[in-house]
Amino acid sequence: MTAPQPTTLLVAETVADVRAAVTVMRRAGRSVGFVPTMGALHAGHVSLIEQAREECDFVVVSIFVNPTQFGPNEDFNRYPRPRERDLELCANAGADLVFYPTVDTMYPPGHRTFVEVSGLSDVLEGQIRPGHFRGVATVVTKLFLIVLADKAFFGQKDYQQQMLIRVMTRELNLPTEIVTCPTLRDPDGLAMSSRNAYLSATERQAGLCLSQALRLAERSFASGECDVKQVEAAMRGMIEATPGAVLDYAVVVHSETLCPLATAEPEMVALIAARFGTTRLIDNAVFIRK
């Protein structure tokens, strides 16, 4: 695969400008790919843009730090916003247009309409972060209706999020195909995340226990272990034994419903979340048994 060539990047701050640009592409018979982000881009985001570039003719990236998906004690105000660096990465990865809306553009004064996906919004991340997925579902629906892309690209690292968006898109008959791309990792195994920048050197080293616990689960299932609870206990034990790690959950669930499992199934997903200092990290691994 050849590396994408830098494009002449358009930056739009209004809904009308995005729709006008997309309409021109549609009339020319060109396909539209979309990568929604909150900025602070890293190599994982870049890989999504490059995948969109490979599969679609015109690539739109949104950069919007969405206030409705942050809880009252979360990091909305300190979330990094390196605009110029983000735009440079978008251009180098092959994006054609970046949508950079304001909060008032996405949520006009008096905004009172929200989207919720019951069930998937209430477990795991949704249970720990009440209201988070309502914010995610709402902003993604709004972005989808603005861009009306053929395909939208998400990372597997946010597994529950991409599953929720798949369900939401299907049930609302939104005309966008969801493409989930593999998690990118640093050489030591840590899943790439904008929040990794918050970690101290000691915390970052401790954070490796997440990917190590996932590999432990993978080895257990590969060796023939069928008792899911035993595997979960082993993952929890590894993380809880790591100095500085505060575990939220380590579970193996159905890969589509996210329902708990007692025994191994042909396709499962291990989901992990833990805190390291003031930073919360998540990770996952999909297991397919033949």
Environment class of residue 20 by beta-carbon count within 10 Å: exposed (0-12), middle (13-18) or buried (19+)?
exposed
Under 8 Å CB-to-CB from 170, ≥6 apart: which residues?
Answer: none
Radius of gyration, CA atoms only, the chain? 19
All domains in the chain, ordered by first residue: 10-181 (3.40.50.620), 194-283 (3.30.1300.10)
pLDDT at residue 75, as a whole number: 80
Q: Rounded CA gap, 273 and 261, in Å?
A: 18
Q: Which of 42, 45, 111, 254 is catalytic?
A: 45
Q: Rounded CA gap, 135 and 273, in Å?
A: 20
Q: Is the dihedral of CA 144, 150, 156, 162 positive or negative?
A: positive
Q: Determine the residue type at 182.
A: P
155: nearest Cα among 170, 165, 141: 165
DSSP state, residue 168: H
132 is catalytic: no
Q: Rounded CA gap, 194 and 232, in Å?
A: 27
Q: Rounded CA gap, 152 and 162, in Å?
A: 10
Cβ distance 216 to 238 under 8 Å?
A: yes
Inter-helix orientation angle 83-93/43-55, to 10°: 40
**Vertex 249 angle, CA 247 and 255, to 5°:** 150
Q: Is the dihedral of CA 84, 89, 94, 99 positive or negative?
A: negative
Under 8 Å CB-to-CB from 276, ≥6 apart: which residues?
Answer: 199, 203, 204, 206, 207, 244, 245, 246
Q: Rounded CA gap, 111 and 103, in Å?
A: 11
Q: If the chain, 290 residues long, is cut into consecutive pieces of 10 residues, what is the mean pLDDT of each piece?
A: 62 98 97 97 96 98 96 85 96 98 97 95 95 97 98 97 98 98 96 93 98 98 96 98 98 96 96 96 93
pLDDT at residue 104, as a whole number: 97
DSSP state, residue 274: E
pLDDT at residue 1, as a whole number: 40
DSSP state, residue 262: S
pLDDT at residue 36, as a whole number: 98
Cite the beta strand spans of 23-150 per DSSP E: 32-37, 58-63, 97-99
Look up tokens 């969405």; give the residue.
66
279: nearest Cα among 44, 66, 75: 75
The model's pTM: 0.94
Q: Rounded CA gap, 161 and 43, in Å?
A: 19
Q: Rounded CA gap, 238 and 92, in Å?
A: 40
